[in-house]
Chains A and B, each alone.
Chain A
Amino acid sequence: MIASGPIPVRIHEIEQLSPTLKRFAFAPLHGGALPTPSAGAHVLVTLRHEGRVMKNAYSLVSPPESRERYEIIVRHVAQSRGGSRFLHQSVARGDVIEIGVPGNLFPLASKARKHLLIAGGIGITPLLSYVPALKARGARFELHQLCTADEAPVFEKLLAPHAAGEDIFIHGNGRAAFDLAGILARQPLGTHVYTCGPRALMDAVITSAAALGWPAGKIHRESFGDASGGLPFKAVLAKSGIEVQVADNQTLLEALEAQGIAAPCLCRGGACGECKLEVLDGEVEHRDDFLSAAEKASQKFIMPCVSRARTAQVVLDF
């Protein structure tokens, strides 16, 4: 059977890791076991905040074999659209929320001879599920965590249970002191690199690796797109004639769902391509990692989960 959501869970535990980081543990509401996630998996957490419904993706940081608890770590972002603020300020132990079945757009490559993991800040989250899986397989890996000096002890503590005898490095002195090209250049044949974190870091990893001759198939990046909001606009659905107003702090997908329209979607992070819609008129501000550069330039498609209209109105073939 293929499991499908949503899954009601109870907030089992909340731990303040730092002034802006909280770890949440979810337990199945009706007992039993949660679906088995794979290393690198994420869940969509349904957040109801000020009359809006959001589904935000968070990587599971619990080990893949953990089925009695799922854990996520959430950073409270000042410019949050409401998701992280809601989780940080309004959710308490014992509350019941809904999550989706785990999905994975950032899986481990089974044929890799070595795994090179590079994260920035809270981008560590998917790697926290990688490390126990890699150790269980006896796989060779090397982990580099970049962060601010303030947060270095937080990440050291998170990685401590796995760190003994492993190549795990925390870099709290900023990007300038981190020899990215040197690390990429000395990796043995058959290494795969995985990166998750701020876009600038991920872009630097991808660009440096490609320049050093890494093939695209061995460069992996976690991608949760950019759903940070923007100017409001109107979406016109050509097939039904319905007009949908998209608020400044809402995604096009959320606006469609708020109207009761069942728009296709899966990852909600601009990565999987499931929600792709055809654009008949209007200009798109692309924020996804799915469409190719040529497709983006053509202005013929939009990924409603993250991208917005640059014009006051956009007409969709939907």
Chain B
Amino acid sequence: MSDQGIKSRPKYAPLELDPAGRHHLLLVEGPALPAEALAEGFEPAAFETWTVVNRSALLPVQVVDAQGESVRPFRAKGHLFSALEERLARETMGLRLYATGSEPFLWDVARIADAAGMSRQEIRLAQAGSKARRVFCVHCRTYGEGVTTSIFTCGGCGASLFVRDHFSRRHAAYMGVQVDAEVPGAVPDAEELYA
């Protein structure tokens, strides 16, 4: 069940600096850089880093730590995304964008970058942390967040959705299709697959 033979899923590689870039902006979904997302020899000081701390406490605008790292914390993802849109609108050619975090976070970033005219050659993504999926119900177009099971109930229309390995970069989500469309009520047991 876990390998559905769909080959279009994005592949990720540990982050390393693209030496061709002139300026490097690194977006982290959590409060700190996850070691699993970094290639050997990764040098954080070469990057301007934005993090998401998920805290309401008043945050400093920017911290420069002892290693010379420039880190700007955001209270939540949405705040970081808005700042990113504004930043990219003012940027010049030569920027490289890096992101690490869950798959929905990575592809939300990619979508903002694409809208700003960045190509895939200018963006690097590394998955880290939870493998939970964002699922797009193809019947009612509702997104379900944090899905860890093979089948889940759509929050929009109540359908039992089978979570396909078919990933949409545009929606930053996996496709969910009604599992009992042929035989109503014949819903297999949900398996925990995407923790």
A122-157 contacts to B, CB under 8 A, are none
Q: Min CB distance, A42 to chain B, in Å?
A: 26
Q: Is the CB of B22 within 8 A of A212?
A: yes
Find A188's partner among B20, B92, B121 (CB 8 Å cutoff): B92
Asked if A250 is at the interface (CB within 8 A of a chain B CB), the reply is no
Given the known inter-chain contacts A189-B116, A190-B118, please indicate yes or no for A218 contacting B93, CB distance below 8 A. Answer: yes
Q: Which residues of B approach A to under 8 Å, CB–CB?
A: 20-23, 88, 91-96, 116-119, 121-122
Query: How near does chain B come to A75, taking the closest CB pair, in angstroms?
Result: 32
- In the complex where A210-B20, A213-B22 touch, is A189 in contact with B119 (Cβ < 8 A)? no
Q: Is A1 an interface residue (CB 8 A)?
A: no
Q: Does A214 make an interface contact (CB < 8 A)? A: yes
B94–A214 CB distance below 8 A: yes
Partner of B93, one of A111, A213, A217: A213
* Interface 0/1 of A183-226, CB less than 8 Å to B: 01111111100000000000000000110111111100000000
Report the minimal beta-carbon distance from B20 to chain A, rounded to whole angstroms. Answer: 6
Determine if A112 is an interface residue (Cβ-Cβ < 8 Å).
yes
Q: Can you give 22 A-B contacts (C-beta < 8 A)? A: A111-B117, A184-B93, A187-B92, A187-B93, A188-B91, A188-B92, A188-B117, A189-B91, A189-B93, A189-B95, A189-B116, A189-B117, A189-B118, A190-B116, A190-B117, A209-B93, A213-B23, A213-B95, A213-B96, A215-B20, A215-B122, A218-B121
> How many pairs of A and B residues are in contact by the CB < 8 Å rule?
55
Would A112 and B95 count as touching, CB distance under 8 A? Answer: no
Cα distance, A218 to B118, chains bound together (Å): 10
Which residues of A are found within 8 Å of B94, using beta-carbon distances? 185, 212-214
6 more contacts with CB within 8 A, not counting A112-B117, A215-B20, are: A185-B92, A188-B91, A191-B93, A212-B93, A213-B20, A214-B93
Contacts of B92 in A (CB 8 A): 185-189
CB neighbours (8 Å) of B121 from chain A are 215-218
State the CA gap A215–B20 with chains docked (Å): 8
Alpha-carbon distance A188/B90, docked complex (angstroms): 7
